[in-house]
Amino acid sequence: MKLFPISSVAMRALAAGVTLPLVLLSTAAQAESEPQWRSGQYLYDNVCGHCHAPEVNVGPSLGGRGLPEAYIKAIVRNGFNAMPAFPASYVDDESIAKVTEYIATLPLVEQP
């Protein structure tokens, strides 16, 4: 008997909300010796894709949607629903521009 029934999607979102900030903290510790995000693809693969890659199906798929940089920046900085906010100390504006360019190259994937 479960005391608090919770869906698998909610569990994945909760896990992402706990895990992502820890991943970012460990990456920030390395930022002094090397560039934080060397490309948009690198940022997507190491942060965004943990939730937004189509095969993960936690957050919405971003590719092929024509999302403008200003929109992506607003969501990254402020968070939205289960997505945490990422301050400039973790993802700088230049990296947001690069990841926006990379996302624009991804194909549109229909999600259920």
- Check 83, 85, 88, 97 and give the catalytic one: 83
Tell me if residue 83 is catalytic.
yes
83 φ/ψ angles, rounded to the nearest 5 degrees = -80, 125
Tell me if residue 53 is catalytic.
no
Residue pair 37/98 in contact (Cβ under 8 Å)? The answer is yes
- Check 16, 82, 85, 104 and give the catalytic one: 82
Residue pair 77/35 in contact (Cβ under 8 Å)? The answer is no
Q: Catalytic residue positions?
A: 82-83
